Amino acid sequence: MIYLGPGGTPHGVSGTKRSMKYLAEEGLNAMEVQFVRGARMKGSTAEDIGEEAKKHGILLSIHAPYYINLNSEKEEIIEKSKERIMKSARLADKMNAWIITVHAGYYSGMSSREATEIIADNVVECAEKIEDEALNVKIGLEQMGKEKSWGTLDELETVVDRTSVAVPVLDFAHYHARYCGKLKTKEDFEDLLKRYEAIHQGRLHSHFSSIEYGDKGEKKHLDMEEYQPDFRKLAPLLKEKDYDITVICETPELDRDSLKMKDILGI
């Protein structure tokens, strides 16, 4: 099944809880709750949102705070980053959001191999806590769109191989931007999906938008109709898959562009 929805509250809607009914009435069935400025929600509020999402058939995910760096030169930043991941995970469990998307960190002057080893150790530590607390949530490690940010597919694979709690999150725009316009043809999208399937078998959580980029990667997200990359070339490939797929729209138009994706998919 394909789940479609926005990364954040739809335009004109006040609050996450009210978004559930609104999205369902639009014909959408997913939403990524944005904790990007901090996971400050009360547990009771998370439970209310989860109940409302279940009532209206909305699959929830969470985007963890941006202020995470599991490879900082400062140990206190790493510790606070792990705390933010765990706080997001606990709220996700209460909300029945199956995954938290995480920007894991930066290279901080290290090689890819060195940074990956440190980030992997810290992700595994969080994964063990998630298992110890019996939280029903995955850590979604997102592909990143800037060359200074840790998060290539090869790097994600190394971490995912060490714990079943961590899964890769495909961000088609980030991939396109990091490699200076890599996704041009249907075959380019197909190759990326095959690479994902070699890393992880099962449910795919992904982000999509058009994107402006330069020599060092992403600059800003753009509306769907910029077609950079072009969702029309990805859509038929998604429909062929036999695993569940979530596509979170990260364009400035949010649910409006999610509905355009739905039209392109013909679902």
Residue pLDDT, tens place only, 62-91: 999 999 999 999 999 999 999 999 999 999
pLDDT of residue 35: 93
Per-residue pLDDT at 38 exceeds 90: no
Average pLDDT rounded to a whole number, residues 46-64: 98
Average pLDDT rounded to a whole number, residues 130-143: 98
Cis? peptide before 10, omega within 30° of 0: no
Q: Is the dihedral of CA 122, 123, 129, 131 positive or negative?
A: negative
- pTM (two decimals): 0.96
- Domain count within the chain: 1
Give me the percent of the chain exceeding a pLDDT of 90. Answer: 96
Q: Could you tell me the CATH number of the domain that includes residue 211? A: 3.20.20.150
The dihedrals phi and psi of 102, each to the nearest 5 degrees, come to -130, 130
**Which of 68-91 are b and which e, b meaning 16 or more Cβ less than 10 Å from the residue's Cβ?**
bbbbbeeeebbebbbebbbbbbbb
Give me the percent of the chain exceeding a pLDDT of 70. Answer: 100
Helix axis angle, 231-240 to 186-199, nearest 10°: 50
Q: Domain range spanning residue 230?
A: 2-265
Structure tokens at 137: 């949530």
Cα–Cα distances (Å) from 224 to 130, 221, 258, in that order, read 36, 9, 9
Beta-ladder partners of 34:
63
Give the pLDDT band (50/70/90) at residue 163. Answer: very high
Per-residue pLDDT at 52 exceeds 90: yes
